[in-house]
Chains A and B, each alone.
Chain A
Amino acid sequence: AQSVAQPEDQVNVAEGNPLTVKCTYSVSGNPYLFWYVQYPNRGLQFLLKYITGDNLVKGSYGFEAEFNKSQTSFHLKKPSALVSDSALYFCAVRENTGFQKLVFGTGTRLLVSP
């Protein structure tokens, strides 16, 4: 079965500093990896995905993620954090067989302080 782990419940970073939100995955076959963000009282918004190709994927709002096959990781990064980036971030892997549903990690709360 495919799974995703987000080892940090919360990440704290000062505005202007770089941020990293960690994600590791377990899949059989090719991984299809996604990051979503959830602002308070809102649904999930798609940030970026890795399907194939370049290991560095760029997405919305200046976020990027680095796919590392040997470490089975897909960490979310941003060079300079904004207070408005404070939200709940979910990493997910999409099943590549069968019903192809998204399997989510438990989420990481990002808190960016002024």
Chain B
Amino acid sequence: GAGVSQSPSNKVTEKGKDVELRCDPISGHTALYWYRQSLGQGLEFLIYFQGNSAPDKSGLPSDRFSAERTGGSVSTLTIQRTQQEDSAVYLCASSSPGPGNTIYFGEGSWLTVV
């Protein structure tokens, strides 16, 4: 597709369950980012992938969060043993390498933990 695609768009899960969020970046974009936006909060960086380099995981809030990127394209963000404070919008973004290139965002996955 033309843009960054995320699924599911909405997810309601019970506390303690695991969830997987998927991101399909723009074709040809080697850089992929995950951000989190909690209700009424700003944008929190989670993790960054660039090509085959080791990812920057410095923003992951706890060891319950992990992400992988297979084949340099699709990425999956996994949250284990979800907690209510994990409720947020999870935004994926992609770009070509280089700081002058625009980072494009998907529509987000809206996660509600009940």
Contacts and interface: CB of A to CB of B under 8 A. Distances in A.
Given A99-B50, A101-B45, A34 B102 contact: yes
Dominant secondary structure at the A interface: loop
Interface string A25-67: 0000000101010000111111001011000000000000000
B25 interface: no
Contacts, number: 57
A102 interface: yes
A28 to B, nearest CB: 13
Given A34-B102, A43-B106, A101 B42 contact: no
Given A44-B91, A101-B33, A96 B99 contact: yes
Interface residues of B, number: 22
A3 interface: no
A107 B42 contact: yes
Interface string B75-92: 000000000000000010
B33 A104 contact: no
Contacts of B97: 100
Interface of B: 31, 33, 42-43, 45, 48, 50, 56, 91, 93, 97-100, 102-108, 110
Interface of A: 32, 34, 36, 41-46, 49, 51-52, 90, 94-96, 98-107
